[in-house]
Amino acid sequence: MNNERYELNKELAQMLKGGVIMDVTNSDQAKIAEEAGACAVMALERIPADIRASGGISRMSDPKLIKEIQEAVSIPVMAKVRIGHFVEAQILEALEIDYIDESEVLSPADDIYHIDKTKFNVPFVCGAKNLGEALRRIEEGAAMIRTKGEPGTGDVIQAVVHMRKIMGEMRNIQSLREDELFEKAKQLQVQVDLLKYVKENGKLPVVNFAAGGVATPADAALMMQLGAEGVFVGSGIFKSGNPKKRAKAIVQAVTNYDDPKLLAKLSEDLGEAMVGINEDEIDLLMRQRGE
Amino acid sequence: MQIGVLALQGAFIEHRKMFEKLGVETFEIRNPSCLEKDMDGLVIPGGESTTMFKLLNDLGMVERIKTLIKNGLPVLGTCAGLILLANKVENYKRSFLKSMDIIALKNAYGRQLGSFKTFGEFDGVKKIPFIFIRAPYIKSVGSSVEILATHREKIVAAREKNILVTAFHPELANNTYIHEYFINIVTESKH
């Protein structure tokens, strides 16, 4: 990937800002998501809550499913590959996917190496729990970052922890002297140039979304107020009582995240939220996959 | 001068920064009450057209915006903004604000792998950066529409009276020419 292509890929993420990216498992759900105002969809065979429930190895989706979803909607289509599985990524690139999510939601294919994302022309989004992780992924070529959260739980706590951590660490970088950045770069195992960017701009050099456990309009607005530039909603929509209404409400909540009166209206009568599980009730912590 | 930037979704901050560079004040439009503020021009930014229109509709802003444009409010639409303003979107099941006599083609250059950057001539001025991200182009224009830029024979910028549209993203470029051009339209309209 040359530098110009990387810029274009970061710029596509800029176009997604202020939007909601929804997990969908078939073309009907993709259409519902588009109608509800999703700015992109994530095509996958099973949503994280079901991956948790059924266990086993979770892999890239069937290309047939991805093609059907690409046919069904005009908004960007993303899909997930296993951490380190560069051949799954090559396959998605061959399908002309709009964004690849190298995702801890799927079973990792490599416990040391992430994909060298600079070798691809399609853009990648990666998860991060803290600033070091985010910048390491950017160094590897990620054009967009999202919090990891704890997918498939309907529990927003980890997304909150990760977003606060990343934002807090960036404020800390801004308070450092320039000559202190070198030591910080060593600690975080990243290039000092990336830290210089953070110090100057107070933000990541790519767009940063929230993901993992977002289930309500209030959750989405919370993440936006904490500094997210947009929101991924996975299991939260199609595991709820009234997906259409909830999807639409979350889309509006992300736009008007600081308008409590409107949020109150949006939160009304949405039917049952996804049941959700507490993280101490689960055995598998997906966020620990891939540092 | 006060420019309202539609801030429902997409790259609205980038537009505000361009105007800031030019010393022009802007404000964000997120709900119907914002449309009642003193506004000399309106920007509809890049983003997802279906998302933006859905929000315009759900928030009850469609008719007011259409009326403002019809009454001569200068408007700049980039990428998704062009699609929203077009009378017709040929390869999509519906059209949106239907304010401008053009027929647009959505995702005309294909998916993200088809996104590209080049330089082109805009209204006779050479070397303007054209950044196309899953961009549309204009397939045809009505008689009152002035074509301002083409790329490989496709129309990528046009003006009809108070409405200026580009298929590319001037808000992402390191060049303020298009924004200056729009400010001139706003200034003209005030006289």
What are the phi and psi torsion angles at B22 (to 5°)? -90, 5
Read off the DSSP letter of residue A113: P
Please check the confidence at residue B134 and state whether its pLDDT lies above 90. Answer: yes
Instruction: Give the closest-approach CA distance of A262 to chain B in angstroms.
Output: 10
What pLDDT is stored for residue A47 in this prediction?
A: 84
What pLDDT is stored for residue B40 in this prediction?
A: 97
Residue B128 contacts residue B108 (beta carbons within 8 Å): no
CB within 8 Å: A98 and B10:
no
Mutate which: A2, A12, A14, A97, vs B, most B CBs within 10 A = A14
More confident site: B100 or A284: B100
Cα torsion through A123, A128, A133, A137, rounded to 10:
-10
Q: Could you tell me the pLDDT band of residue A75, with boundaries at 50, 70 and 90?
A: very high
Taking only the tens place, the pLDDT of each residue in A123-144 is 999 999 999 999 999 999 999 9
Based on the residue annotation, tell me whether A80 is a catalytic residue of this protein.
yes
Residue B39 contacts residue B73 (beta carbons within 8 Å): yes
What pLDDT is stored for residue B113 in this prediction?
A: 96
More confident site: A235 or A114: A114
CB within 8 Å: B51 and A38:
yes
Strands B154-160 vs B146-151: parallel, antiparallel or unpaired: antiparallel
- The letter for the amino acid at A180 is E
Q: Cα–chain-centroid distance for residue A9? A: 15
Taking only the tens place, the pLDDT of each residue in A154-185 is 899 999 999 999 999 999 999 999 999 999 99
pTM: 0.95
Rounded CA gap, A35 and B53, in Å?
10
Taking only the tens place, the pLDDT of each residue in A206-239 is 999 999 999 999 999 999 999 999 999 988 888 8
Mutate which: B51, B82, B131, vs A, most A CBs within 10 A = B51
Q: Does residue B150 sit at the A interface (CB-CB below 8 Å)?
A: no
- Among the listed residues B15, B151, B160, B169, the single catalytic one is B169
What pLDDT is stored for residue A84 in this prediction?
A: 97
Q: Could you tell me the pLDDT band of residue A290, with boundaries at 50, 70 and 90?
A: confident
Q: Could you tell me the pLDDT band of residue B169, with boundaries at 50, 70 and 90?
A: very high
What pLDDT is stored for residue A275 in this prediction?
A: 64
CB within 8 Å: A18 and B111:
no
Report, as an integer, the average pLDDT of B78-94. Answer: 96
Report, as an integer, the average pLDDT of B62-88. Answer: 98
Rounded CA gap, B58 and A44, in Å?
28
What pLDDT is stored for residue B77 in this prediction?
A: 98
CB within 8 Å: B111 and A76:
yes
Rounded CA gap, A263 and A255, in Å?
10
As a whole-number percent, the residues of chain B with pLDDT over 70 amount to: 100
Which is nearest to A111 in space by CA: A290, A287, A285, A283?
A: A290
What pLDDT is stored for residue A278 in this prediction?
A: 67
Instruction: Give the closest-approach CA distance of A173 to chain B in angstroms.
Output: 23
- Among the listed residues B151, B160, B171, B179, the single catalytic one is B171
Return all residues near A260 (Cβ < 8 A) that are at least 6 apart: none
Report, as an integer, the average pLDDT of B114-119. Answer: 97
Report, as an integer, the average pLDDT of B14-43. Answer: 97
Rounded CA gap, A107 and A45, in Å?
14
What pLDDT is stored for residue B38 in this prediction?
A: 95
Please check the confidence at residue A277 and state whether its pLDDT lies above 80. Answer: no
CB within 8 Å: A96 and B113:
yes
Residue B172 contacts residue B17 (beta carbons within 8 Å): no
Which residues of B are less than 8 Å from A89 in CB distance? none
More confident site: A54 or A103: A103
Rounded CA gap, A103 and A59, in Å?
10
Q: Does residue B134 sit at the A interface (CB-CB below 8 Å)?
A: yes
Please check the confidence at residue A271 and state whether its pLDDT lies above 90. Answer: no
Q: Could you tell me the pLDDT band of residue A281, with boundaries at 50, 70 and 90?
A: low
Which residues of B are less than 8 Å from A97 in CB distance? 111-112
E-assigned strands of A73-168? 77-82, 99-103, 124-128, 144-147
Q: Which of A14, A36, A122 sits opposite B112 (nearest CB)?
A: A122
As a whole-number percent, the residues of chain A with pLDDT over 70 amount to: 97
3-class secondary structure, B177: helix
Residue found by looking up tokens 């801004």 in the block: A174
Residue A266 contacts residue A253 (beta carbons within 8 Å): yes
Instruction: Give the closest-approach CA distance of A36 to chain B in angstroms.
Output: 7
Rounded CA gap, A190 and A150, in Å?
25
What pLDDT is stored for residue A276 in this prediction?
A: 67
> Which tokens go with B114?
């088809």
What pLDDT is stored for residue B161 in this prediction?
A: 96
Residue B100 contacts residue B87 (beta carbons within 8 Å): yes
3-class secondary structure, A199: helix
Mean per-residue pLDDT of chain A: 94
Q: Does residue B32 sit at the A interface (CB-CB below 8 Å)?
A: no
Q: Which residue blocks in A115-233 are alpha helix, DSSP H?
A: 131-139, 157-175, 181-188, 192-201, 217-225
Based on the residue annotation, tell me whether B169 is a catalytic residue of this protein.
yes
- Among the listed residues A10, A31, A80, A203, the single catalytic one is A80
What pLDDT is stored for residue B129 in this prediction?
A: 97
Q: Could you tell me the pLDDT band of residue B42, with boundaries at 50, 70 and 90?
A: very high
Instruction: Give the closest-approach CA distance of A159 to chain B in angstroms.
Output: 22
Report, as an integer, the average pLDDT of A280-284. Answer: 69
> Which tokens go with A84?
């380190």
Mutate which: B15, B111, B132, B172, vs A, most A CBs within 10 A = B111
E-assigned strands of B7-113? 25-29, 41-44, 75-78, 86-89, 100-105
What pLDDT is stored for residue A284 in this prediction?
A: 75
What pLDDT is stored for residue A288 in this prediction?
A: 82
Which residues of B are less than 8 Å from A12 in CB distance? 112, 115, 133-134
CB within 8 Å: A7 and B110:
no
CB within 8 Å: A96 and B116:
no
What pLDDT is stored for residue A279 in this prediction?
A: 66
Which residues of A are less than 8 Å from B9 in CB distance? 17-19, 39, 254-255
